[in-house]
Structures are given as C-alpha cells and as structure tokens.
Amino acid sequence: MTGSSPIPRDASPVTSKGRATRARIVDAAARLVYEGGVAGTSLDDVGLAAGVGRSQLYHYFADKGELIRAVISHATDEVLDAQEPYLHHLDSWEAWESWRDIVVDVQRRRHHGGCPLGSLASELADVDERARELLAGGFDRWEAAFREGLDAMRTKGLLRADADTHALALTVLAALQGGLLLSQTRRDAAPLEVALDGALATIRAAAAARPTRPSPARPSRRNP
Amino acid sequence: MTGSSPIPRDASPVTSKGRATRARIVDAAARLVYEGGVAGTSLDDVGLAAGVGRSQLYHYFADKGELIRAVISHATDEVLDAQEPYLHHLDSWEAWESWRDIVVDVQRRRHHGGCPLGSLASELADVDERARELLAGGFDRWEAAFREGLDAMRTKGLLRADADTHALALTVLAALQGGLLLSQTRRDAAPLEVALDGALATIRAAAAARPTRPSPARPSRRNP
DNA sequence: CATAGATTGTACTGTCAAGTACATTCTGCT
DNA sequence: AGCAGAATGTACTTGACAGTACAATCTATG
C-alpha cells in the first residue's frame, strides 16, 4: 500500500479479520462512491453494503474524509491494474493499439460511467486538499507509465530523437480523461474512441522518419 | 429560454422585478455551485448570496433540481461567451491560436478551478437524466462551433478535402476538458496548455499539403 | 384608488447523515 | 485459562438541509 504515514486518529487493522473488514469497507465504499459520488454516499450506505456496523467505520477511519482518501488509493490501483498488461509495456505501436482497445472495452463494460479517478478529481480537487494531492499522484503514476513506454520507443528508434515524451504522455492522459467525460455525458463510447485515436495520431506524428519497420499508415478502425 | 415544457410547480417571472430576482438567484447559484459543487451548495446558501428568502427559490423553481438545471443553461452561455469573439470564427490558424490563448488565460484567471460544464457533467451525468441531456447539449454547441470553423478552413483550402472535421472537433473538445481536469487537479495551467497544443497539432496534421500560405511549422510557445 | 395576482418574509416540519458513547464479543498471547 | 487489546453492536446527540404553510407586501392595470 502507498500510505504508511502515521495518521493519529484512525487504527490500522492488526488481526487478519480486521484487515478483511477494512478491505470490505473500502471495497464497498469505492463502489458506492463510483455510482453516486462522494456527497451522495452516506456512511450508513457503506456500512450496509459492507455488512458492518457504523462503529467499524469510525474504528478504522478517523472520519469520512479518511475513508474517501482510502477509496482514492484503492481506485487508483484498480484503474491502473485494469489496463495491464499493456500499460507498463507501451513500447510499440501494437501495444498502444491494444491498450486503446482495452480502455474502450472497460469503458463500455462500465456502461459509460466515467473514470473513477476523474470523477473523484472533479468533485474533490477544490474541496479536500489532501485528496487533491492523492489524485494528482494517481494521475502522475498514469502519465509516468505512458512516458516510460514512449521513452522506450524513442530509444528503440520508433520515435524521433527530439520527441517530447513528457508532452505526449500528458496529451494522451488529457485525451483519455476528456474522452471519458464526454462519453459519460453522451452515454456513448464514440467520443472516447475519437479522442484516443486523435492522441495516438499525435504520437504517430512524432514517429521516426525512417523506422526499422515502416509505421503503419493509419490503421484507424472506426465503428459506424 | 429553452424550457417551455409544461412543468406545473414553478412560476415564470411576470414583472421585471421578478425577472431580476430570478436572474440574481441563478447567478448566485451558479457561482456557489462552481465553487462547491451541487451537493455542497444548500438553498440557504443560495438565498443568502442572492439576498432573497427561501420562499423565492420555491416560487421560481419547483425544487433544487430545477434550479440546478437553470444553472446549467446559464453556465453554458457563460462558458461559450467567455471564448468569443474567437469561438465562432475559428476559420484560420491565427484564430485557433488566439482562442487557445484565451482559454488558457480564462483558466488561469479562475485559479485552476476547472470547467463549469465539465464539473457539472461529472457530478450529474449519472444522477439526473435531464441535467445530463442539458449538459450534452452544451457540449454539442461547443463542438459544433469547432466543427464549423474547421469546415470553413476546409472550404478555404487550409485543410485537406478529406479531413474529418467532426472527429477533429471532438478531439479538441476532449483535449480541452481533459486538460482542464488535469490543470484543476495539479493546480497548474501547464497540462491544459500541453493538451491544447497537442490537439492543435492534430488539426495541423490535417492541413492541406500545398496551402495558400504555408502552415507554420510549430509556433509552440511554452513558459518554463 | 382598488383589486387580483405576483412577489416576498417568517416560521415550521420531517428526514437524514455525521459523529460520539459505551457496552459487548472476539482474538492473540503468555 | 485468563487477560489486554482489538473488533463489533446498539443507541444516542447534534446539526443541516429540502421542502411546506401561511401571512404580508408590492405592482400592474382597469
């Protein structure tokens, strides 16, 4: 887990039963928050969904904010895990294409519910400073995975030596978040697909002039 | 106003005084909602900020949902107006650059508070169906302005004849929304700038091969 | 000016959610 | 076994907020 900071007022589980209970709480809270937002999720709901009483919530978390921050860490791991095994091997054009397909597929399976991290960021960034920092860290991890893949491609000679991998990674992440938001609002995966294709096109524009293998002209598959 | 549906329980203002009061309410509500979200804004807060009693709120709006939907329409107009005079004349490379600068400037002036429409969409899309439709309509207007500018550029010969202006407009909107979200989360305008530059680069990739004036190679100004 | 309807002020109700207190049961350890 | 501390259940307090009732005041207009 990321957080090993000594926060005074909540208790870390000692027994395995305690750990399981805490995990059940965070799981349930993450699901409810994803569906109804932070403000729309009461601690009674969380307790009910997790099958625990209210006292446990306050036993393991100092207050609602602490629980929500735990949800953020949990959601970050979930989101990034859902994109493996491609996310940490985005070092070829094929990997990027496969990753794109996974992301679109996940979004479809979620019934256009938006990105857990993006929704939390939008709701909390201006309200809870510590939550904002956690979310920024989550986005950093995401972006770093993109950048490392692009760096590898540059090393391989797939990208031009002067390609700005930092900017490209940020462009992909922004397109992803914006595409998810528009898909959520329109209840249609098309905006996400278009946005991702646009970002991938930006990467291809930085392809090396004479690569080992010629970069595919434009394998844009679009569904009508 | 857009809504002429026969909703029974709210009243349209008849006198000029009533109209002014209603406008003050929506103004205040829009500001508070932008700062604290829908769930974080109580009707008491709105009444206090607008200098009216609670009874007026229920005189002009059937319930909180109605007020919020009025806020959405108001925010849509505000957001689009803030991007004039460029938004509806995006028919040259210079206009796009100027528009980009305005958007970044507005975001900076807002102290990285995010996009009013985007925040509302994220909070309401899965909760209030009518609000979702209003927000989708707002995004449609935004995207249409982009697409019309791009269509004009294609007609002028600045873009290739086969340029997919619909996809390009969606790409710009997604980059904008994603960039705003990341800038809000990081409290830094850089992600928005990078994302917009990336989207503009995608448009330039669709520039006509032999334009009337040669398209500038990459006037990327970035502040360290 | 008089009146109907629009507008506004005051006070109230019911509900729900966050957080607290305290008692009880379980679990690891000697 | 028996104890300390962890884990859990029940009941309560407090405050905030959406929505309602009703009375008072203003305003357009005949």
**What is the per-residue pLDDT across A51-106, written as a single tens digit (0 to 9) for each?**
999 999 999 999 999 999 999 999 999 999 999 989 999 999 999 999 999 999 99
Q: What is the pLDDT of residue A16?
A: 85
Q: What is the pLDDT of residue A9?
A: 55
Residue with tokens 């205040």: B28
- Other residues' Cβ atoms within 10 Å of the Cβ of residue A104: 18
Distance of C1' in C16 from CA in A36, Å: 16
- Other residues' Cβ atoms within 10 Å of the Cβ of residue A190: 17
Average pLDDT taken over every residue of chain B: 90
Could you tell me which residues come within 8 angstroms of residue B175 by beta carbon, excluding any fewer than 6 positions away?
Answer: A171, A174, A175, A178, A195, A198, A199, B195, B196, B198, B199
**Does residue B165 sit at the A interface (CB-CB below 8 Å)?**
no
Could you tell me which residues come within 8 angstroms of residue B86 by beta carbon, excluding any fewer than 6 positions away?
Answer: B95, B98, B99, B102
Q: What is the separation of C-alpha A103 from the centre of its chain, rounded to a whole number of angstroms? A: 10
What confidence tens digit (pLDDT) does each residue in B128-168 have?
999 999 999 999 999 999 999 999 999 999 999 999 999 99
Q: What is the pLDDT of residue B223?
A: 46
Residue with tokens 């930085």: A206
- The band of B211, judged by pLDDT with boundaries at 50, 70 and 90, is low
Distance (Å) from the alpha carbon of A170 to chain B's nearest alpha carbon: 7
In the predicted model, residues of chain A with pLDDT beneath 50 are 1-8, 213-215, 217-218, 222-224
- Taking 90 as the threshold, does the pLDDT of residue B28 lie above it? yes
Residues in B 23-42 with any Cβ partner in A closer than 8 A: 35-37, 39-40
Candidates B185, B188, B203, B221: best to mutate against A (most CBs of A within 10 A) is B185
Tally the residues of chain B: 224
Q: Which pTM does this prediction carry?
A: 0.90
What confidence tens digit (pLDDT) does each residue in B63-93 have?
999 999 999 999 999 999 999 989 999 999 9
Q: How far apart, in whole angstroms, are the C-alpha atoms of residue B43 and residue B20?
A: 18
Could you tell me which residues come within 8 angstroms of residue B149 by beta carbon, excluding any fewer than 6 positions away?
Answer: B88, B89, B90, B91, B95, B96
Percent of chain B with pLDDT strictly greater than 70: 89
Mean pLDDT score, B42-70: 96
Dihedrals phi, psi of A206, to nearest 5 degrees: -100, 15
Closest listed residue to residue A118, CA positions, set B126, B147, B153: B126
Q: What is the pLDDT of residue A210?
A: 63
Query: What sign has the CA pseudo-torsion B109, B110, B113, B116?
Result: negative
Q: Which two tokens stand for residue B189?
A: 């305008």
